[in-house]
Structure 1
Amino acid sequence: MVSRSSAEAEYRRMGQGVCELLWLRRLLRDLGFRPQKPMDLNCENKAAIAIAHNPIQHDRTKHVEVDRHFVKEKLDAGIISFPFISFENQLVDVLMKAVSTTIFLDSLDKLGMRDIFALT
């Protein structure tokens, strides 16, 4: 697939993320857990979040109509929510791209990873 904008690419990934959250929700329900609040799908792209919340058709969404309707339906039903998360708090960045030493060490600490070779 070729996306024409980063918002479109992010929105397509949000659609896939919603599918995964629905699967996890059903799995939890089968195990006896009933989620009482919407499941969060963190997103750092404000344009993609705006597309999810805005019912007006955007020019950027002409290639993602199915995803747009699917995500909007789950958002309106209260099954999911899209809190904005800034790039400094994206823990996955340490696994995907080069980050500064400070962000790297902070992310490792948040992930609970420790250097087993460090002197104690």
Structure 2
Amino acid sequence: MTQESADVNEAIAGELRLMDPEFRSSGEAARLLDPEFVEVGASGRRYTYEEMIAELPSKPGSTAAGPRYEPSAITAVRLAPHLIHLTFETVFNGNRARRSSLWRKTNEETGWRMYYHQGTPVPSDLA
């Protein structure tokens, strides 16, 4: 496996962990989010690192008994040596969204962290 493949796999694994209800509610998300993290959610709301860390354990998708994110069609492009762009779709509680994340690595110690995330709702009449 090349280093590029290993890096892409690590970013994808991080993305999947952030969708896992047990991980979302554990308070461990801080280690996978970059301190400069920003998200524009499917709702249109903008979240900072601090807001996301505080709210993630109570957000929908963070309980084992509730709905789960179902990701599909994950693709990755390395934009620079320390920057990976992931795109994919999710279904959550019957609602589809197209998603885009930037993962960056600022040092070996912290590894790959999500720097930016955006979700765009897909209307039910679009294929």
Structure with greater proportional helix content? 1
Superposed pair shares fold, TM > 0.5: no
Whose radius of gyration is greater, 1 or 2?
A: 1
TM-score by length of 1: 0.31
TM-score by length of 2: 0.30
